[in-house]
Amino acid sequence: MAEATITGMNFNKQFGGYKKSQVDDYIRKLSDEYRTAYEEYGAMRAERDELIEKLAKQEAGNLNRPDGESFVNTLVNTEIQARQIIREAKERAKKIIDGTIEETSRAKQAARALVEKAEAEAAAAKKKDRMANVENLQIKNCAINNADIANENIAYAINEVFSAGVPA
């Protein structure tokens, strides 16, 4: 997997953060790439060790020959190449791991931001609901007060009618 593929990966968002299945698939792919790189590293190291052993055997048999020194040079060059292969494999594995860590960190930050936003929206909705309940209570109290005033006005009117001596 190329570094651009790793660092350029985007996940679809859903409620609560990134889609878990996409993140899991991505991490699985990175893990497979890392495993492959690690296996290649192991195979190259085994091949290097085998070549060193073969060269050592040939060198032991050819030290008395005039061209025996070329085997020593070959052995040294092989060791240098092997070290370079190991270094490159480690660098590749580090890039994969660093990319995964960075992408995971970004995904966590995005998920945290979504959670915070959802919590803020929930708090605002609760506040709005509380305000509506207070408003309903005020309306009910006003209606009760109006009914009480109406009852008092009716009682007053009845009293006035009976006090004035109007025959029934």
pLDDT in tens, 36-85: 888 899 999 999 998 888 877 776 665 555 555 566 677 788 889 999 99
- Please determine, for residue 23, whether its predicted confidence score (pLDDT) is greater than 60: yes
Strand partners, 14: 17
Q: Is 78 exposed, middle or buried (0-12, 13-18, 19+ CB in 10 A)?
A: middle
Q: Is the pTM of this model over 0.85?
A: no
Which two structure tokens, joined as six digits, stand for 163? 């006090």
Q: Please give the C-alpha separations between residue 11 and each of 5, 8, 17, 97, in angstroms, as whole numbers.
A: 13, 10, 10, 18
* Residue 56: partners with Cβ closer than 8 Å, 6 or more residues away: 75
Distance of CA 79 to the CA centre of its chain: 42
Q: Is 1 exposed, middle or buried (0-12, 13-18, 19+ CB in 10 A)?
A: middle
- Please determine, for residue 104, whether its predicted confidence score (pLDDT) is greater than 60: yes
More confident residue, 154 or 65: 154
Give the C-alpha separation, 97 to 103, whole Å.
10
pLDDT confidence of residue 71? 64
